[in-house]
Amino acid sequence: MTHLFAPFRVRGLELRNRIVMSPMCQYMAAEDGIARDWHLVHYGSRAVYGPGLIVLEATAVEARGRITEHDLGIWSDEQVDPLRRIVDFLHEQGVPAGIQLAHAGRKGRARGERIIGPTAEAFRPGDPVPEAMDRAAIREVVARFAEAARRAVRAGFDWIEIHGAHGYLLHEFLSPLVNRREDEYGGSEEGRLRLPLEVVRAVRAEVGADFPLAVRLSTTDYAPGGLDPAATVRIARALGEAGADLFDCSSGGALPIQPEEHPGYQLEAAIRLRRELGVPVAAVGRIAEPEFAEAIVANGWADLVVLGRELLRHPSWPQDAALRLGVRPEPAHPYERAYRAWEHGLRRVGSGRALERPA
């Protein structure tokens, strides 16, 4: 058994391997935020190849929290059953279902919605100017996250990830480059942490003690005076004390800065977080080669490997990675015939090359 294909437990949930499908917006929902057939086919076609966990894309906790009018939503009861249809199919394939609860904040672009943020400052010149949130608006957002978590449980989800990265609302409050408030929700790091902490506590109260709760963090703002890995350690420590179990380590998005990307470009921050806090972390960022994914887990750099664009290109990656690493594939039953060559001493990889089975 390789490390990548070893089981992993968080609270009451056990994943059969360490491969996670990253939340990636599809912008294919109906304008009322309801999931469509696209979502069932998209997530279902990855589930049949057996990742350890699939996390649905950023799903808005209120209508004005969408990135576009075609984002998924979980702010109304009418949105629950279409999501449950997806969850049920993933469960039939033996794959736990996660959902990323999100609020776009000042980066919201849904038509007809008035956007909000920590201050009345646009993401970049020419963008819509958000309304600065007063205390009542802050309390309302916390309540919307809690209600969304309640609906996620009703829909059958096994895992919740709170989106605290990529320049969306919770990241906007965390980043000193964006949050210029002078009240108790700004100023010091303690103040900037207040809203994310309230959200984590509210969601934990809704889901109970046995439910896994992750947070995606941007570990750096890529700009002087912004968030960096040292600050992320302090932020994660506080969020963990509030009820978060695992941190999905991403980066950027608070400012219109595009970092240079290469395989594992966000890995160093994940390693530091895991080493200094001893908490489970997920590594994400241009991870494509099975051997690299195996090394990440085997070396203790991260507990989970999160694949994004690679799973858009290559839905069968979990099975092909198993073949490359000498692990018996476990595809959905109707696909087993495609892997019988492995049983006869051969294993096939995504490129179509036939390799001798390892001894």
Catalytic residue ranges: 168
> In angstroms, what is the C-alpha Rg of the chain?
20
CA pseudo-torsion sign 134, 139, 142, 146: negative
Helices (H), 130-174: 135-154, 169-174
**3-state secondary structure at position 35:** coil
Task: Calculate helix-pair angle for 189-207, 229-242, nearest 10 degrees.
Answer: 40
- The whole-angstrom separation of Cα 259 and Cα 257 is 6
Angle, helices 267-277 vs 229-242, to 10°: value is 50
Which stretch of DSSP H or E encloses residue 162?
A: strand 159-164
Residue type, 124: R
Spatial distance between the Cα atoms of 307 and 220, rounded to a whole number of angstroms? 20
What token pair was written down for 179?
């949050």
What does the alpha-carbon distance between residue 262 and residue 251 come to, in Å, rounded to a whole number? 13
Q: Where are the alpha helices (DSSP H) in the chain?
A: 37-47, 80-92, 135-154, 169-174, 189-207, 229-242, 267-277, 290-298, 309-313, 317-325, 340-343
Contacts (Cβ under 8 Å, ≥6 apart) of 140: none
Is 73:33 a contact under the CB 8 Å cutoff? yes
SS3 39: helix
Phi, psi (deg, nearest 5) at residue 233: -60, -45
